[in-house]
Chain A
Amino acid sequence: MAKTLSLDNLHRLVDALLQEGVRVVGPKRTGTLTVYAPLTRGEELELNELPRRSAKETFFPPCETILSFEKRDGRTTVSDPDLDRLPETVLIGVRPCDAAAPGILDAVFSWDYDDPFFLERRKRTTIIGIACTSSDDACFCTAVGLTPDARQGSDLFLVPVEGGGFAVEALDAKGSALKERHAALFTAGGNTVPLPLAEPKVEPLDLEKIRAWLDGNFEHPLWKEIADRCAGCGACAFLCPACHCFDIVDEGGEGSGCRRKHWDACGFGKFTMHASAHNPRDVQPQRYRNRIMHKFKYYRDKFGQTLCTGCGRCIRWCPVGIDIKAVLDEINKKS
């Protein structure tokens, strides 16, 4: 029989997990914006708003220290973080467009090299997804193969039901284990009629046709047309659940310092700048082209997946109003 969970019990679940020493990360209002942040109480959970930044930062933080070094008495010692001590984490209240992304990124973070920072966090994290009941005109999950109730990427899934509360579905061992551990909070039966789902009203996309068009049109006037206006910032990449580029820098002084890994973006002019000062992506349209190529062709070619879940963040926050859905519609029409 289907289990349900009231909103109060969802809050209690967070509190119970925190009591056990589990780190619980979920949408939380901080100042004017909602972001995924560690919760200190169940009631902090803010489920009515899509967080400004995506959930990828749970696995791939904006900045993390990957080693530190110290020079003393002519000797240099290097210390690595002890990734075995990364805490067990529950990522809660994740909408399908965010929940699907970490699984898509597994492919690249375990491709020619296993990135322990990403993968260790993945191993230790349980994702509680939630069906989405509110969308805006930037959302387009349905055009890239997801739905507002897509289970992809979730270990446990909540569907908001009539009269408040959620129908609960465990999707794998991680999800079942979590549910078993807190069985008392889940009730059998109850109203399981789902609330109406969000319905992004968008033109469908044929991702395979788009891939094929991209294959043949590395050079095309469209790139200049769309992306001459691109300001070359990192907003789209940094807010995106699927963008995963990073830079590695050494910071500190001669005596001691840290090596840090932090987000980078193909929109930046410096992204491909060579030490010789030659820049293979010389002008902004070439950089924007890479954004589209990487998401809809290269990643598909290599891993059979698309680097976009249709969350709409890059559309909402592009300073110059570049709308990736409009771009894809345009390509869809051509192909």
Chain B
Amino acid sequence: MTATATTTKHDFEPKLVAFVCTWCTYAGADLAGTSRMQYPSNVRVVKFPCTGRIDPVFILRAFQKGADGVLVSGCHPGDCHYMAGNFHARRRFAAFRQLLDFVGVDLKRLQFSWVSAAEGGKWVEVVTELTERVREMGPMREFIDLDASEHWSAELADAELKAAYHSL
């Protein structure tokens, strides 16, 4: 049986969230679409005015809500619509990556890229690569497991909750 990369059925379809700026990457993704380029449909795109507006907490929230991978993408340095938003973002995300790494989040699930409005091909490449990498890694369990640990002390009420809270 033959199939193209984009139509192969896999056991695990990762959920990816892409936070992108409207001026460059969103336009680039749009170009990829209108040019009918094929890329994995695993990614949900969330559009922002600028990478400078993408708060690290959004990335955290995405993981907490079940994303297996997160992509953050905006204009190349020098191309920011607001002059310096992406320069600030670059530092912020450099720092945030280190923090996530220090608390033990596998950074392979988090990708940053510069994709301009003309780079539909690069968008396809970045999304495909992240999708495949995260597919290899399997589902992101850490935050989901955290959310399922029902009690703050992990042990204080587990047995108790199992009994009384079986219905919840």
A–B proximity contact (CB within 8 A): yes
- Tell me which of B19-27, B85-93, B123-131, B150-158 binds A: B150-158
Does residue B168 face the partner (Cβ distance < 8 Å to A)? yes
Given A37-B153, A253-B65, are A65 and B159 also a contact pair (CB < 8 Å)?
no
Looking across the interface, which residue of chain B has its beta carbon closest to that of A57?
B156
- Tell me the interface secondary structure of chain B in the complex: loop
Does residue A81 face the partner (Cβ distance < 8 Å to B)? yes
Looking across the interface, which residue of chain B has its beta carbon closest to that of A253?
B65
A114 to chain B, nearest CB (A): 17
Looking across the interface, which residue of chain A has its beta carbon closest to that of B168?
A68
Interface bin, chain B? 10 to 19
Does residue B5 face the partner (Cβ distance < 8 Å to A)? no
Do B163 and A38 touch (CB < 8 A)?
no
Does residue B164 face the partner (Cβ distance < 8 Å to A)? yes
Does residue A32 face the partner (Cβ distance < 8 Å to B)? no
A299 to chain B, nearest CB (A): 27
Query: B129-140, CB under 8 A of A: which get 1 and which 0?
Result: 000000000000
- Tell me which of A82-90, A171-179, A188-196, A319-327 binds B: A82-90
Residue numbers in A under 8 Å from B166 (CB-CB): 82, 85
Do B152 and A62 touch (CB < 8 A)?
yes
Does residue A19 face the partner (Cβ distance < 8 Å to B)? no
Count of chain A residues near B, Cβ 8 A: 25
Do A82 and B164 touch (CB < 8 A)?
yes
State in angstroms the CA–CA spacing of A38 and B164 once bound together. Answer: 16
State in angstroms the CA–CA spacing of A209 and B155 once bound together. Answer: 44
Does residue A2 face the partner (Cβ distance < 8 Å to B)? no
Residue numbers in B under 8 Å from A86 (CB-CB): 160, 163-164
Does residue B102 face the partner (Cβ distance < 8 Å to A)? no
Given A65-B150, A253-B65, are A38 and B168 also a contact pair (CB < 8 Å)?
no
B44 to chain A, nearest CB (A): 15
Residue numbers in A under 8 Å from B163 (CB-CB): 82, 85-87
Do A81 and B167 touch (CB < 8 A)?
yes
Most A CB atoms within 10 A — which of B150, B155, B160, B166? B160
Does residue A23 face the partner (Cβ distance < 8 Å to B)? yes
Residue numbers in B under 8 Å from A84 (CB-CB): 164
Residue numbers in A under 8 Å from B167 (CB-CB): 79-82
Tally of A-B Cβ pairs under 8 angstroms: 54
Do B151 and A81 touch (CB < 8 A)?
no
Looking across the interface, which residue of chain B has its beta carbon closest to that of A58?
B156
B147 to chain A, nearest CB (A): 9
Given A37-B155, A253-B65, are A65 and B165 also a contact pair (CB < 8 Å)?
yes
A209 to chain B, nearest CB (A): 40
Do B168 and A63 touch (CB < 8 A)?
no
Do A38 and B156 touch (CB < 8 A)?
yes
A91 to chain B, nearest CB (A): 12
Query: A30-50, CB under 8 A of B: which get 1 and which 0?
Result: 000001011000000000000
Does residue A164 face the partner (Cβ distance < 8 Å to B)? no
Do A63 and B165 touch (CB < 8 A)?
no
A136 to chain B, nearest CB (A): 25
Residue numbers in B under 8 Å from A68 (CB-CB): 168
State in angstroms the CA–CA spacing of A63 and B149 once bound together. Answer: 12
Residue numbers in A under 8 Å from B152 (CB-CB): 62-63
Residue numbers in A under 8 Å from B157 (CB-CB): 61, 64
Most B CB atoms within 10 A — which of A23, A38, A67? A38
Query: A11-31, CB under 8 A of B: which get 1 and which 0?
Result: 000000000000101000000
Most B CB atoms within 10 A — which of A37, A65, A258? A65
B143 to chain A, nearest CB (A): 14
Do A79 and B168 touch (CB < 8 A)?
yes
Residue numbers in B under 8 Å from A64 (CB-CB): 151, 157
B152 to chain A, nearest CB (A): 6
Do B156 and A61 touch (CB < 8 A)?
yes
Residue numbers in A under 8 Å from B156 (CB-CB): 25, 37-38, 57, 61
Most A CB atoms within 10 A — which of B152, B157, B161? B157
Measured CB to CB, the residues of A under 8 A from B are 23, 25, 35, 37-38, 57, 61-65, 67-68, 79-87, 89, 253, 258
11 contacts between A and B (CB under 8 A): A25-B156, A37-B153, A64-B151, A65-B161, A67-B168, A79-B168, A81-B168, A82-B163, A86-B163, A86-B164, A253-B65
Task: Taking A65-B165, A87-B159 as given, write out 7 further A-B residue pairs in contact, using a Cβ cutoff of 8 Å, ordered by the A residue number.
Answer: A23-B160, A25-B156, A38-B155, A61-B156, A83-B164, A85-B166, A87-B160
